[in-house]
A and B are shown apart, each in its own frame.
Chain A
C-alpha cells in the first residue's frame, strides 16, 4: 500500500447531521439504525408534494451566538459548527498559517439566503438588504469563514460538484497536502437546502420520494420499493494532515486518507450512466491513486441515494472493480441526502468504520432489488476484519461527477 507519495492522515472529525449535532451522537444513532427524517411542519408544506425531510437534529442557531448566526447562511452555520468540532478534535496547538488550508464546498450554496433576500428586496427595497447578503449567498462563504476562523493562508477553496462536492473537497485537500502546498487542510461539505423551491424543483425532476405516509421508511437504497431520495441538511468536515506533521506533534490518527479517484460520465446532466462506466473509472483511479487493490477494500460507503436509477448500477460497478466481498453500507437510508454535505459526513462515517472496525447498516431494505450482487449491510451493523484494511466512500453528482475517496486503517 505505498505510492511513494506524502501520506495524508485524518486527525479530526466534525459533523452536524439529521442524526445528531456532533460526531458522537450522529455515529451512535447511525449504528442504532435510527432515521433522521421527520414530517415537514412548516406552513409551506402544502405547496409541495413531499411532506418530509431530514432536518438537522440540532439547529445551528441554538449552538452559535446570535450575532454570529445572523450574518451566516444556514449552510455556513452548519459548516462552522462541524469545522469547530473537527478542529477541536484535531487539537492542533500550532500550525504555520501559510501551511494551513481549507477546502469546503456546497452543492447549492446560500440558496435560502438568496430567496429570503429577494423577498426583502421586492417588499422593502435594497436599503433593507443585509450587508452580509453577498457573503451569505456565495457558495465559497463557508470555506471563507472557516479559513478566517483557523487562520488558513495556504489557500481556501470551495469545490462545487452537486452531490459529489464533499468528497471532491476531501480529494482536493489530499492533493493539496501531497503536492506540498499545505501540511494541514480542513475539508468537507455542507448543505442547507430544505426550502419549498428546492423540494418543488427536485420533485419536478421526479427525483424525490413521496412516501408521505411513512417518512422514516422513505429512504431505502436498493429496496425494490424505493421511489426517490430524501432531502437532508448538515455538514461533515475532516482535518487532513501530512503524516509527518501529525506524527511530529503526536496527534491521534484515525485513518489514512489514502487517495482519490475522479471521473465524469459525459452522459446526461442528471441521470446516471447506465453501465456504471464513470463510477468504475473513479473507483479504479482511487485504487491506483492509493496503491490499493480491490482485495484490500473491505467496506464501501456507497452513494446509494434511494433513487430508482442509480443504486443498482453502483453495486454492479463495485462488484466489477472491487469484488463482491466488501461490506457495502447505504447510510443515506438514515441521514437522508445532504447533497453537497453528503461526501463530508459519509467520509466521517468511512473513517469511523475503519477506526472502530464496524460497517453501519442500511435501514429499510425489505426487498433487495434484482441485480444487487454485493454484500449489503442490512438492518444491523457488521464487524470489519482486524489487520490492515481499506474502505472507499463513493459520491456522485448531477453534472456527471464521480468521486471515490479511499481510506485505510492505521
Chain B
C-alpha cells in the first residue's frame, strides 16, 4: 500500500530531526534543504541513506542532487 504524502512528510521530518536537530514541524514540503533548512551536503547524504532505509527506495547519487525541496523527496518516494 502506497504511503500518503502526509505519512512520507512525517517520516522525512523524523529523519531530518534525528540527523540535524531541526524540529520536524519545520520540515514542510516547500522548504529547500540547503537554503531554508541550512543542511549541508554531508548531512543530505545521511538523510538520503536514512530515507532509503525508511521507505525502501534507492536514491541514486545523480538523482540526489535534484532533490532540492522536501516536496521533491516526497515525489521521488511516491513515484
Contact = CB atoms under 8 A, between A and B. Distances in A.
A67 B42 contact: no
Nearest to A127: B49
Contact of A68 (B21, B42, B45, B49): B21
Q: DSSP majority for the B interface? A: helix
Interface in A125-146: 127-128, 130-132
Interface string B11-23: 0000000111100
Nearest to B53: A128
B46 interface: yes
B18 A132 contact: no
A144 to B, nearest CB: 14
B42 A66 contact: no
Contacts of B49: 127-128
A2 B44 CA distance: 55
A67 B38 CA distance: 14
Interface in A47-83: 65-68, 70
Contacts of B19: 67, 70
Contact of A131 (B20, B21, B42): B42
Contact of A66 (B21, B43, B45, B46): B21
B20 A67 contact: yes
A141 B46 CA distance: 19
A80 to B, nearest CB: 15
A65 B20 CA distance: 10
Interface string A105-133: 00000000000000000000001101110
A173 to B, nearest CB: 29
Interface of A: 65-68, 70, 127-128, 130-132
The 6 closest A-B pairs by CB, nearest first: A67-B21, A131-B42, A131-B45, A67-B20, A65-B21, A131-B46
Given A65-B21, A67-B21, A131-B45, 15 more contacts: A66-B18, A66-B21, A67-B18, A67-B19, A67-B20, A68-B21, A70-B19, A127-B49, A128-B49, A130-B46, A131-B42, A131-B43, A131-B46, A132-B42, A132-B46
